Amino acid sequence: MGRKRPSRRGRYRRRRTRRTGQKILLRFLVLAAAFVVVWMVAGNGAEALFARLARARVVERGTLETVVRAEVMIVRREEVYRSPIQGRVELLVGEGSWVRGGEPVCRVEQSTAREQLLQERAEVTEELRRFQAEEGPELEQLRRRLADTDSRIRACLDELQQALAAPEPQDLQSIQAQLQELFAERGDLWTRYVRLKERGSTLEAKLAELERSLGELTVTIVSRTAGVVSYTLDGLEEAIDPARMDQLEAEALYRLAAKPHTVQAGERVKAGQPVFRVVEPTSAYLCIPLPTAHALRLLDRGQAGVRFVDFPGQVQGKVVALGPRSGDGEGYAVVTVLTEQYLEDFTYYRKVKAEVVVESVSGVLVPRTALVDREGQPGVYVLRRATVRYAPVTVQGQDRYWVAVEGIQEGTLVITTPWLVKEGMKIP
């Protein structure tokens, strides 16, 4: 016969007995540890225990910064040059070249001979005259018929609305059929009208283009100032007036969108179209939308540090303007910083991501847990020749984890668990 299997109740009792034994052992260990601690404290071993648990670290000098991420708009000292005529561009200097004041930068040349343009203008003028004589009356008739059809459609719609409002609607099908006929008629009239109108508009636009082309001449555009030439323009070169930056609102700044375009050699440009710009690479304005509290803090400091994310580099600058608050709640305000540390990337970037240093303090950096208060005087416990000493300090600033202080030397061994020590305690 096989061995009899224990019953379910028996197995449960054995498992319960094992768990009970484990709990008893755990409680015994905890009580033993507590007994050791109580024995040491009850005797003269408390100080020795705390001395062993105390922690210390060597402190160094450093800087604490309050940093805010923001989108910075770069406003350069630059002048935009436009083509006075329509024509094709010939570049005389390369992109990024340095030019002096009075130096030729590009040339705009007429693209068509005058005689050919005059002949073409005469042909288009005659074609437009024939169109107006032959198609003009039909275009006017189509316009009147469209107006009449629209009037009938409105009347039919009114009739349909009245019929639907009646207790027992009648003639709905006939009214709907009439509406369908009127819409079909209007669609046919509109198609014929648009076709004729577009033909006339095309002729008028072509004639206007020829008139402008006849005024084309060869013009050399000369730089009025010294600087770096760039044929890439984004449409925002003249969007912000440096003299009115104290009126710049954050919402308006956000709405400004750059649309870069690079003028190529041989490209046809219109009269008045920007062709190139000359940048003075000595300084730039940085327009920074910030929460109002941070903006006011920067205004009080009078200066700001900016670290760029989209390209390497950082600059320091002077706060020169603060715009009005805008937005809900605390709102935002635009801080304008003037920096004379011009970076090469400023020439080609407009809106960039950056880190703005709102506040910066220097000192010996100690953990916040190390700071103690003795009758209103902040201080730290330091370790000198294995003995704990209290050292008063002056707090320069702090963040979530560190405090910048003065009053102790760099390289001092500072107690980071001050609740475990006291003045004069020996630390092995």
> Same domain for 210 and 191?
yes
CATH number, domain containing residue 275: 2.40.50.100
> Same domain for 239 and 347?
yes
**Among 185, 214, 243, which residue terminates a domain?**
214
> Same domain for 309 and 229?
yes
> Same domain for 228 and 210?
no
Domain containing 337 equals: 69-109+222-361
Question: Do the beta carbons of residue 298 and residue 358 sit within 8 Å?
Answer: yes
Whole-number pLDDT of residue 7: 53
The C-alpha atoms of residue 408 and residue 382 are separated, in whole angstroms, by: 9
> Same domain for 158 and 171?
yes
Q: What is the mean pLDDT of each run of 10 residues along the chain (428 residues)?
A: 48 51 63 52 53 82 92 96 90 96 92 72 91 88 91 87 77 83 90 90 90 74 97 94 89 92 94 96 96 92 94 95 82 95 96 93 94 93 92 91 94 92 86
> Same domain for 91 and 120?
no
In a domain, 12, yes or no: no
Phi, psi of 205 (to 5 degrees): -65, -40
Q: What is the CA radius of gyration of the chain?
A: 42
Whole-number pLDDT of residue 3: 46
**Among 182, 214, 246, which residue terminates a domain?**
214
In a domain, 45, yes or no: no
In this predicted model, what pLDDT tens digit does every residue of 82-109 receive, in sequence order? 999 888 899 999 999 999 999 999 999 8
> Same domain for 148 and 251?
no
Closest CA to 266 of 231, 301, 222: 231
The C-alpha atoms of residue 92 and residue 334 are separated, in whole angstroms, by: 39
**Which amino acid appears at position 243 of this protein?**
A
> Same domain for 227 and 148?
no
In DSSP notation, 218-232 reads -EEEE-SS-EEEE-E
The C-alpha atoms of residue 143 and residue 136 are separated, in whole angstroms, by: 11
> Same domain for 97 and 146?
no
In a domain, 9, yes or no: no
Closest CA to 76 of 277, 268, 267, 290: 277
In this predicted model, what pLDDT tens digit does every residue of 138-169 receive, in sequence order? 889 988 999 999 999 898 888 888 887 777 76
**Which amino acid appears at position 180 of this protein?**
Q
Whole-number pLDDT of residue 404: 95
> Same domain for 156 and 289?
no
> Same domain for 247 and 306?
yes
Whole-number pLDDT of residue 52: 67
Q: Is 277 exposed, middle or buried (0-12, 13-18, 19+ CB in 10 A)?
A: buried
Closest CA to 295 of 333, 264, 331, 265: 333
Residues 6 or more apart in contact with residue 4 via CB below 8 angstroms: none
> Same domain for 231 and 274?
yes
Task: Indicate the number of domains in the chain.
Answer: 3
Question: Do the beta carbons of residue 425 and residue 387 sit within 8 Å?
Answer: yes
Q: Find the DSSP H helices in 135-171.
A: 136-165
